[in-house]
Amino acid sequence: MAAVIKTSTFAQLVIGPPGSGKTTYCKAMSTFLESIGRKVAIVNIDPANDDLCYKAAIDVSELITVEDAMIHMHLGPNGGLVYAMEYLLQNINWLMDKLSKFRDHYIIFDCPGQVELYTHNESVRNLVSFLESSGFRLCAVHLVDSHYCSDPGKFISTILLSLTAMLHLGLPHVNLLSKMDVMHEYKDRLLFGIDFYTDVLDLQYLLDALDEDPFAKKYRKLNAALVSLVEDFSLVSFLPLNSKDQRSLLKVRSAVDKASGWVYGQGEERSVQQMLACAVGAETEQERIGDLRDSLMNDDDSDNN
């Protein structure tokens, strides 16, 4: 019988498309949380992730890999991943026995990137249900590449993907625009300010931008319906993420802790206050957006000189 963790164990479920920076985020957030006194364990449950940049406390590759499934079950990459995740569920005792050794840790689950696992396949949803019933308090952290902001059509798709994952998993949820440190590389392609994309403001402007594309214009009614769906739910917004910046990680940590109900201890509170004083001070959200906008504008000035 699986080992059941009776006391609440807080955890992040880090999800997002391949290449969105999930593994990098797991390492950066783990290091950051440890620096303020939190005991952290990263759990890799992506059977296709064979290039970890962190030391995993638990690694699903010890149980099964996508390559194993492909070879022995004669499956392709996507089929192999689905099979591997279902195999993990069938052997959930293996995972729970290992997790029982980290009762006093904050857990970060590094999850697979294939989006179908969070849209219509039930394997991750069933894993979430089992973890919740075993005493885990989960918060989904959904990463998408900020590069998608440079294309109106891709950004609408990104919003829909985020909304679908939120509704399918049914967890407290924080959406992140990752790789903000390289946004200057495509700043000339941004049609609006950064706050338009983080706050998901009036999407009618995106529809107007899509009308400039003759191909996309043919599907205006469909695009309008999709935008209306997003705006009707009013659930999707994003935090900007730069995994190299402690101020950015601090804001993400605060959002995730608020969503999951984490209350940190006195020692951690002192560490956070010291970091706030040194790194962020009394910075408001508007000031944060303003600093990012100013940074991009300064890049423009440098290019013109």
pLDDT, residue 32, reads 95
Domain boundaries, the chain: 10-301
In this predicted structure, the answer to whether residue 3 has a pLDDT above a threshold of 50 is: no
- Between residues 140 and 216, which one has the greater pLDDT? 140
The answer to whether 15 touches 162, Cβ cutoff 8 Å, is no
Q: Report the distance separating Cα 14 and Cα 145, nearest Å.
A: 14
Q: Give the CATH fold of the 10-301 domain.
A: Rossmann fold (3.40.50)
HSE (side-chain half, CA atoms, 13 Å) at 126: 14
**In sequence order, what are the residues at sequence separation of 6 or more whose Cβ sits closer than 8 angstroms to the Cβ of residue 37?**
265, 267, 268, 271
Q: Which two tokens stand for residue 75?
A: 């499956």
**pLDDT-derived band at 290, boundaries 50, 70, 90:** very low
Q: Give the pLDDT band of residue 221 (cuts 50, 70, 90).
A: confident
Helical (H) or strand (E) element with 302: helix 285-304
Q: Is the pLDDT of residue 89 over 60?
A: yes
Which of helix, strand or coil describes residue 192?
Answer: coil
13: exposed, middle or buried (Cβ count in 10 Å: 0-12, 13-18, 19+): buried
- Say how many C-beta atoms besides its own lie within 10 A of residue 83's C-beta: 20
Residue 280 has pLDDT above 50, yes or no: no
Strand partners, 173: 140
- DSSP string computed for 198-217: HHT--THHHHHHHTTSHHHH
Whether the per-residue pLDDT at 282 is higher than 80: the answer is no
What is the percent of the chain with per-residue pLDDT over 90, rounded to a whole number? 56
Residue 122 has pLDDT above 80, yes or no: yes
DSSP per position, 127-143: HHHHHHHTTEEEEEEEE
Rounded-to-integer distance, Cα 97 and Cα 76, Å: 30
Q: Which two tokens stand for residue 17?
A: 């498309």
**What's the pTM value of the predicted model, to 2 decimals?**
0.85
pLDDT at 215: 75
Tell me the two tokens of residue 276: 């706030």
| pLDDT averaged over every residue in the chain | 85
Instruction: Please report which confidence band the pLDDT of residue 103 belongs to, taking 50, 70 and 90 as the band edges.
Output: confident
Phi, psi for residue 65 in degrees, rounded to 5: -125, 165
| Per-residue model confidence as pLDDT tens digits over 223-273 | 888 888 888 878 899 999 999 999 999 999 999 999 998 876 556 767 766
Place of tokens 């950015």: 248
Higher-confidence position of 177 and 265: 177
